Homo-oligomer: A and B are copies of this chain.
Amino acid sequence: MQDNKKFMLEAIKLAGENVEHNHGGPFGAVIVKEGKIIGKGGNKVTVTNDPTAHAEIVAIREASKNLGTFDLSGCEIYTSCEPCPMCLGAIYWARIGKLYYAATKEDAAKAEFDDSFIYAEFAKPKTERKLQSVQMLREEAVKVFEKWISKEDKIQY
């Protein structure tokens, strides 16, 4: 069997196990580096009471821990469904180079996981979003950035 088919079937298997064991939504993800799985996970939102514990985030956190770095350059992610905006953002921050996905956002929406609302919110100016946004104390926060900029021993990422 082709390797990438094998990895995707593993992600889908994790999604299925999640449904059986009631650990969270029907989603699974696997991170691969140089042909080896270095992190994987199912959605753990309900079992851990963590709204950020989507399968991709769980897998990224495990892969980073296993490799001892926040930089997953050279890795691929296999996810049983197209990533939501949170997970797509996480994939970029982790510098993962390639995304394989199986089901589409539309398939997920049929199962009542609809992130099109969030994607639509992103495209709006802040003032038109459902999430109210209020700016305050900007100058105080900018001082912290200035401290960061002038800090010589900072660890950049």
Instruction: State which residues 105-152 of A face B: CB under 8 Å.
Output: 107-108, 110-112, 115, 117-119, 121-123, 131-138, 140-145, 147-149, 151
Residues B51 and A98 in contact, CB atoms below 8 Å apart: no
Residues B154 and A19 in contact, CB atoms below 8 Å apart: yes
| Interface membership of A81, Cβ < 8 A | yes
Residues A86 and B80 in contact, CB atoms below 8 Å apart: no
Q: Tell me the bound Cα distance from A71 to B52 in angstroms.
A: 11
Q: Tell me the bound Cα distance from A46 to B153 in angstroms.
A: 13
| Interface membership of A50, Cβ < 8 A | yes
Q: In the complex, what residues of B have CB within 8 A of residue A51's CB?
A: 60, 64, 70-72, 90, 93-95, 157
Q: In the complex, what residues of B have CB within 8 A of residue A102's CB?
A: 135-138, 140-141
Residues A149 and B111 in contact, CB atoms below 8 Å apart: yes
Residues B144 and A80 in contact, CB atoms below 8 Å apart: yes
Q: Tell me the bound Cα distance from A115 to B93 in angstroms.
A: 9
Q: Tell me the bound Cα distance from A99 to B132 in angstroms.
A: 6
- Within 8 Å by CB of A25, from B50, B60, B157, lies B157
Which residues on A are within 8 Å of B, measured CB to CB? 4-5, 8-9, 12, 15-16, 19, 22, 24-26, 45-46, 49-52, 54, 57, 60-61, 64-65, 67-72, 80-81, 84-104, 107-108, 110-112, 115, 117-119, 121-123, 131-138, 140-145, 147-149, 151, 153-157
